[in-house]
A and B are shown apart, each in its own frame.
Chain A
Amino acid sequence: MRMYGEEHPNQQILSRIATNDGHGENSSYFDGWKAYENDPFHLTGNPKGVIQMGLAENQLSLDLIQDWMKKNPQASICTEEGVSEFKAIANFQDYHGLRAFRKAIAQFMEKVRGGRARFDPDRIVMSGGATGAQETIAFCLADPGEAFLIPTPYYPGFDRDFRWRTGVQLLPIHCHSSNKFKITHAALETAYRKAQNSHIRVKGVLVTNPSNPLGTTMDRETLRTLLSFVNEKRIHLVCDEIFSGTVFDKPCYVSVSEVIEDDPYCDRDLIHIAYSLSKDLGVPGFRVGVIYSYNDAVVCCARKMSSFGLVSSQTQHLLASMLGDEEFTTSFLATSRRRLCRRRRVFTEGLKRVGIHCLDGNAGLFCWMDLRPLLKEATVEAELRLWRVIINDVKLNISPGSSFHCSEPGWFRVCFANMDDKAMEIALMRIKIFVYRENDAAVPAKNKRRWDETLRLSLPRRFEDLTIMTPHLMSPHSPLVQAAT
């Protein structure tokens, strides 16, 4: 493909991977992010700016971590108290990772699951965040052209993480609001058969539990359905449990690690977990990803591949200490969950007061908001029109369901844990005003014109072709809503 040679005579020919859209950032959905960057909300500096509600970050409990660090200077290799470890740590590049770090991670994962599952530190493999974990798992389990099935709606970043450089495909398992988007055996079989009819070899199923974007946890029955499906087909099950520590309400979280302990017939060689500290602890900057596989060959291979994205030994050392502090982790998890629960309640109740409903959720850093009643028609085009109005007029950057491959138009993911109470209040106020305005506009027909005037830019004709989303859903450029704390 000599495309570059013709357009840019001085450009060297790059690979297809380097020049295709597999990274997912070239999309009209960029507008949401751009709108925010051009006009970011700030309580005092820019109170009318765009509020960032498209970033699934947990900013509610960083104070707890900061306090711990102040009280534990020895955990840093740069302080007086900790510098004696500097040489050994700075020199440590063993891809097995620091033993103390792996032990602490295993311990933390057990605690997050209430002690209902055990994790072996020797199966903990590092990766460059969950991003790196997913890519590595795909490299280990599938060849180019092979596929994994994935329930919709799903995190847009998977299109890049699982597919871009690996050449592996992601095929949807369609889920619907009629049963709260639960995965059914029928949907699994349909997706599998469709792949077979297209002569695509399916190597596994990729699920996120708790779900992004739904904010729900999987029930035991669904997990069992999945396990029996993958065992029957002899394919893998990859569970992304990155939000496992953000379960703040009933029903109680059930991890795949628990279910397999009760299931002697499950072939453990098929089961793999991806994890990270980015959401539970709120430290995405530290790039701590984990692959936990029950398959020895995968552990071995993933560990070798981890050379491409090891966790900084400075960070391993810090976290070994922090997560090894049981008193701290117990209290952190409890407080963090409480704050998330409260924040979600404030948000959903505020929405309910103006007649907007969210899918019942008990986890995650976001709500799955139902704006179908506001759509003129149940189409993706209508959803995107509404979306642009919300960004440009209401000044909230939220994420349209189509970017998550949702098969029903009208759903939006709205993040609530990346701002302070004041910003949340303002966001709710804006939504209230918008809804009242829409209700007023719905009555006199002549006001319908106002909608169309706010239309901007060309809309994608076939959204299925687009590999997605505002870049910050995948790899944020600048992180923060500059709200005053």
Chain B
Amino acid sequence: MCIILCIIFCIILCIIMCIIVITKMCIIMCIVLCIILSMATQELQINESLAHLKTESESLKTKLEEERAKLHDVELHQVAEKVEGLGQFVMKTRRTLKGHGNKVLCMDWCKDKRRIVSSSQDGKVIVWDAFTTNKEHAVTMPCTWVMACAYAPSGCAVACGGLDNKCSVYPLSLDKNENLAAKKKSVAMHTNYLSACSFTNSDMQILTSSGDGTCALWDVESGQLLQSFHGHAADVLCLDLAPSETGNTFVSGGCDKKANVWDMRSGQCIQSFETHESDINSVRYYPSGDAFASGSDDATCRLYDLRADREVAIYSKESIIFGVSSVDFSLSGRLLFGGYNDYTINVWDVLKGTRVSILFGHENRVSTLRVSPDGTAFCTGSWDHTLRVSSSFSFSLFSVISLSPEVLLTHCVFFFFFFLQIWA
């Protein structure tokens, strides 16, 4: 309002001056003044509308949160009070896989529960039999920083990609002399780095996410783009496919702090969650498919329920300062494993929200973590060039150790007398 008054005032002033002293200078001054004023008002108008849009979007967001909160009548740890606590778990590293020349960035398990594929910064992708720690195949990619790799469900191929903006599929051949790189098939093409890739239920389709802010579904045979998913405002860092019956959705997390749930068939974003305070590095579905967990640079893991449409648990501790790079659930969904940038692995009780175990061993940050398909162990890859397969401490031995010393002593004394009697 005042701006319009200012303009009117200035124009009137100029006109008066022109009437009094009709000189060229005056007229030029008037014109210049008018131009400056109009530019200023335009800029102010633009700023006004931007501010208005921002306030409008903020008000809508608060309204959405209010709607979500209406049906939230109980917290997860309250519901979980009736469940038995887990006590302290002991995890131990069972296998160490050495062979990469640089930081390990990603890994994936094969459906046969013992083979894994891993990729590293030096461009090497290695297929291991983790049980025997033998290397079975090795591929050298033409680019460095291979940030994504995946094993095909049939076990016959691996997909990998990274800074080359592409996702390539290598069929695994058993002929030792054959160069795997010769049969490479370039499937996905993005305009920025590939951050994650995953096969859908078969070898024929691949889902990829990229630093260009999109996810895409590709047909492996033809390399054709089947569907693209737009909606993230920044790099997409991770994705996971839903284990549900209909098998048609997936979740992705990005640098815009949002986790989006997408419908693979229509390409639409069905649900969106924005409660993290920093980039989301990893997302993983709960085994039943009704929820998913996310790990972020803000050092927390959060559990989001899809039916209640809200975050239901936060897994954090004041002593944990460094960000989470990857998360995964155990088979039953009771335990949540998180690999952290402070070189440790923390194991959380999903229902109670408490930490049940911490595993040391890596000498640099943990970059990737996956639980094996049958839940017997989990594998972690780290920037210290190694991969470690770990599992819970041996059960029968643990039960023996848990016996108190008095009981052990009485048992020994009893057996001693028993043998004495037999000999006598």
Q: Do A and B come from one complex?
A: no
Give me the interface of A with B, judged by CB distance under 8 Å: none
Give me the interface of B with A, judged by CB distance under 8 Å: none
